[in-house]
Amino acid sequence: MPKLRGEAFWRETLRSAHYVVAPMVDQSELAWRLLSRRHGAQLCYTPMLHAQVFLRDANYRRENLYGEACPEDRPLIVQFCANDPEVFVQAALLAQDYCDAIDLNLGCPQMIAKRGHYGAFLQEEWDLLQRMILLANEKLSVPITCKIRVFPEIDKTVKYAQMLEKAGCQLLTVHGRTKEQKGPLAGVASWEHIQAVRKAVSIPVFANGNIQCLSDVEECIRKTGVHGVMTAEGNLHNPALFEGRNPLVWEMAEEYLEIVQKYPCPLSYVRAHLFKLWHHTLQVYQQLREELAKVKTLEGIVDVNRELKLRCQEEIANQKEGEKPKEGLPFFHWICQPYIRPGPKERCKENGTRGTEKGVRGKRALEEDEDGNSELLSKNKQKKKLRNPNKSFDPSLKPKYAKCDQCGNPKGNKCVFNMCRGCCKKRAFKETADCPGHGLLFKTKYEKSLLWQSSQTGIQNPEISQRDVDFGETAVLKEADDTAS
């Protein structure tokens, strides 16, 4: 049966999906997708998967896609980041039986994408992208889709989208921000760019950006004419966004934790979701925020969630008639609601520093060490200090390691040559020696090979022939290869 394309693919395979949950690294895992689907999401993406890792690592495939089958989790699109046509297609071939389409990530603006040369940092390499999509469209049994960011110029964005369509892309998600618009500099997404792309291509288009509630979804579809709307942060703060509801936070949190019991995922994912759901409440109960950061088990997270619920219920019971939400929130902090990311000037003001005229984000104020030392700790070190109050960041207290005689790296404590493993391996191989400290047994293996050879020929007290030497050298070389691998 030929694979469906364009509008037919969107109507029949994706069931005319209008409400879409975005691919989010470590955040759109199976448990969260199931929660979102229960509350109005019609299509979900997997987290962004690294094509090269997916291709070589069976555990990575099992953890991210090959786990327990779940018929509820369809339609589903698997997203990959890649910069090599062959690697991308080979990874997609391993994934195509578990999804309804394969998406190429051309929208990630983060530094890791820049270092890995993928995501939005491929948007100028049109020849490469054409080859990747052409090959995928030819080899895969499911359609290929793309998620992109826009260029500052609308005309260039339109030509970019048309190029992807011509190469074989069957559905396009357009995030209306440039790759420079991220974090506190994100700003407002341009629906004008999205509308121009929608008018210029014949394939279905999803819009991404500026979606905080259901009315935003409806307005975006009306203004841009897109087939569907994708949301990321709006969904993380309110999984019932597509239902047009703002439920109590603990209702969503308890339902999610219940799903996690059935479909486990790494604890870091669960903790991150609770931080998003309880974001506004954790500004009020800072101690519980710290407990959530330090907890090591799912049961511990459930306990923190229960305590947050009790605190909020107690606050509701003591609430005065006519009392309004604080901190300028549209709802009380225990209700699921959007988090409006502060811009550079607001962030600088929060940190007690002045922004520059260009609006560049100012550095946050550093705090003194709890012990009153003059050493200033970064935000990351402060978090580590909270988890382990006895931790010291004084460089003079760091343990001193004995150095390798050859290269200066730390030497093995039990190395017979006083070297690091790399240098020890080279020397032990060269001298046909043993180093039990590093588990290198070149001499022992060599002697065993000679004994085995002599037992095979039946010679008593044999002299070492050239053939024996060759055999022994082969054994040593094999040991060196095994050690290296």
DSSP assignment of 394-451, as one string?
-GGGSPPPPBPTTTSSBPPTT-TTS--HHHHHHHHHHHT-EEGGGTEEHHHHHHHHHH
Taking each continuous run of H as one helix and of E as one strand, the counts in the chain are: 21, 13
Residue 55: pLDDT above 50? Answer: yes
Which pLDDT does position 345 carry in this prediction?
56
Lowest mean pLDDT of 364-373, 408-417, 462-471, name the range: 364-373
Asked if omega into 462 is within 30° of 0 (cis), the reply is no
Rounded to whole angstroms, how far apart are CA atoms 473 and 456?
18
Residue 331: pLDDT above 70? Answer: yes
For residue 163, give Cα distances in angstroms to 88, 125, 158, 159.
19, 11, 9, 6
Residue 182, class by beta-carbon neighbours within 10 Å (0-12 exposed, 13-18 middle, 19+ buried)? middle
Q: What is the dihedral of CA 58, 63, 69, 75, to 10 degrees?
A: -100
Residue 66 carries which DSSP code?
A: S
Q: State mean pLDDT over 114-141.
A: 96
Residue that wins the pLDDT comparison between 23 and 485: 23
Are residues 23 and 147 in contact, defined by beta-carbon separation less than 8 angstroms? yes
Distance of CA 400 to the CA centre of its chain: 35
SS3 call for 12: helix
Which pLDDT does position 470 carry in this prediction?
52
Each domain of the chain, given as residue ranges in start order, spans 6-245, 259-318, 402-446
Residue 13 carries which DSSP code?
A: I
Task: Dig out the tokens for 63 from the structure.
Answer: 């953890």
Q: State mean pLDDT over 413-441.
A: 91
Rounded to whole angstroms, how far apart are CA atoms 456 and 453?
5
Which pLDDT does position 453 carry in this prediction?
85
Which pLDDT does position 274 carry in this prediction?
97
**6-245 domain in CATH 2.60.34.10?**
no
The number of C-alpha atoms within 13 Å of 217 and in the hemisphere containing its C-beta is 23
Q: State mean pLDDT over 85-107.
A: 97
- Closest to 63 measured CA to CA, from 266, 274, 298: 266
Q: What is the pLDDT of residues 128-143, one digit of tens each?
A: 999 999 999 999 999 9
Which pLDDT does position 346 carry in this prediction?
53
Query: DSSP assignment of 89-154, as one string?
Result: HHHHHHHGGGSSEEEEEE---SHHHHHHT-GGGGTT-HHHHHHHHHHHHHH-SS-EEEEEE--SSH
Rounded to whole angstroms, how far apart are CA atoms 65 and 47?
10
Q: State mean pLDDT over 353-361.
A: 41
Q: What is the pLDDT of residues 438-482, one digit of tens each?
A: 999 999 999 988 888 888 776 555 454 454 545 455 544 454 455
Which pLDDT does position 297 carry in this prediction?
96
Distance of CA 256 to the CA centre of its chain: 19
For this structure, is 108 an active site residue?
A: yes
Residues facing 206 on adjacent strands:
173, 228
Strand 376-377 to strand 228-231: parallel, antiparallel, or no bridges (unpaired)?
unpaired
Which pLDDT does position 351 carry in this prediction?
47
Considering 124-128, 422-426, 476-480, the range whose residues carry the highest mean pLDDT is: 124-128
What percent of the chain clears pLDDT 90, i.e. is strictly above it?
A: 69
What percent of the chain clears pLDDT 70, i.e. is strictly above it?
A: 86
Q: What is the pLDDT of residues 153-186, one digit of tens each?
A: 999 999 999 999 999 999 999 999 999 998 878 8
Q: State mean pLDDT over 404-409.
A: 82
Q: Which is catalytic among the residues 44, 81, 99, 108?
A: 108
Rounded to whole angstroms, how far apart are CA atoms 403 and 399?
12
Segment holding 43, helix H or strand E: strand 43-45
Rounded to whole angstroms, how far apart are CA atoms 246 and 356?
37
Residue 19: pLDDT above 90? Answer: yes
The confidence band for 1, taking pLDDT boundaries of 50, 70 and 90, is: low
Q: What is the pLDDT of residues 223-275, one digit of tens each?
A: 999 999 999 999 999 999 999 999 999 999 999 999 999 999 999 999 999 99
Q: State mean pLDDT over 310-339.
A: 92
Task: Dig out the tokens for 422 from the structure.
Answer: 């790399």
Task: Dig out the tokens for 296 from the structure.
Answer: 């090591």
The confidence band for 360, taking pLDDT boundaries of 50, 70 and 90, is: very low
Q: State mean pLDDT over 16-27.
A: 96
